[in-house]
Structure 1
Amino acid sequence: MALPRLSRPVILAVGLVLGAAVTRGCWLIVSLSGGAVSSAEKTFGTSGTLTLANSSLSFLEGGERCTGLDGYSDIQRGAQANVTGADGTLVATGELEGGKKAALGCEFPFAIEGIPQGAKFYTVEVSHRGGLTQTEDELRSGGLTFALGR
């Protein structure tokens, strides 16, 4: 007994249904297993503060906005904070938030997200002012502190 010959539209319809079923099954398996590892899980963030000690800020009250002056004019809101990996490749960037007068000078908080995990060490540098080299665990804990000025 010979099997009936299927037309091209029927074959395409069966293929479409089977393809949709396989895709849905894969989605269900991934969903039930906790999902695929997202790129956000392969990265981490850090935070810190750059303090610009400057005696010319003595006229400001605590908490008032401030910015770098004279030779420190690059230290201001939006100045780039870079993270490089062990091989010196730029891996993530952030920027300084606005500065506020504090006891030790003008403090600029910053946060950097999207740092890929797994390097032996990382170097964090604000503007062109030299970097701090840290392990991944040290960066993950945050609290980096940079100090410039007198």
Structure 2
Amino acid sequence: MTNKQPEQPATPPPPIEPPAVPVSEPAKKRLSPLAAGLVGLAAGAAIVGSIWAITATSGPEGPATFTLEGTFTLTEDATESGDDCSASYDSGYDDISEGTSVTVYGAKGDVIATGELGDSTYSDYVCEFAIAVPDVPKGEKFYKVEVSHRGTLQLSAEEAENGELAASLG
């Protein structure tokens, strides 16, 4: 027996790796000017729409208004017809009846609300009509009220808002 060990084969050298080739990223594709414009337009519309939605629901309901209330009395040539009354035919007041226009003017002379003569009552040759003109804007220094084309009656803001209109004709 010999103490000689058999010759061991030499370990082969590690395989040679090829040099690392840098991997290039794929080229980024740019948007065409038309596509970029459309994307910008959509983004802008979304922003404007969002702002509009927020402000539309967060503000006050609108200008404060009141209903101008009072009476209009026809003291001459009034006649009763059924449940209502009006001026007699050819009296010069025949434009006065239920439904006759009522116009409210602001301090600058502009029309700010319209309505009409309401229900009427007849008593002793006199017609009294209810007036209720809705949605009259608050904030005027004074108001002028005209029934038909018969001239205006001026009320202070306080009188108008408190329903103190009392006009007559005849």
Task: Give the CA deviation at 1:31.
Answer: 4.8
Question: TM-score, normalization: structure 1?
Answer: 0.69
User: In the alignment, which of 73, 83, 87 is matched to residue 64 of structure 1?
Assistant: 83
Q: Percent same amino acid among aligned pairs?
A: 40
- 1:74 counterpart residue number: 95
Task: Give the CA deviation at 1:45.
Answer: 3.3
Map 1:1-150; keep pairs closer than 5 Å: 4-31=29-56, 34-35=58-59, 38=62, 41-54=63-76, 57=79, 64-69=83-88, 70-102=91-123, 105-149=126-170
Task: Give the CA deviation at 1:50.
Answer: 0.9
CA distance in 1, matches of 2:77, 2:96: 15
SS in 1 for 2:115: strand
Task: Give the CA deviation at 1:18.
Answer: 1.1
Larger radius of gyration: 2
Looking at secondary structure, tell me which structure has more helix per residue. Answer: 1
CA distance in 1, matches of 2:131, 2:160: 13
Question: TM-score, normalization: structure 2?
Answer: 0.63
Counterpart amino acid of 1:108?
Answer: F
What is the Cα-based RMSD across aligned positions, in Å? Answer: 3.3
Task: Give the CA deviation at 1:80.
Answer: 2.1
Counterpart amino acid of 1:83?
Answer: V
CA distance in 2, matches of 1:56, 1:30: 54
Task: Give the CA deviation at 1:110.
Answer: 2.5
- Which stretches in structure 2 are left out of the alignment for 5+ residues? 1-26
CA 1:26–1:56: 2 relative to 1, 3 Å: closer
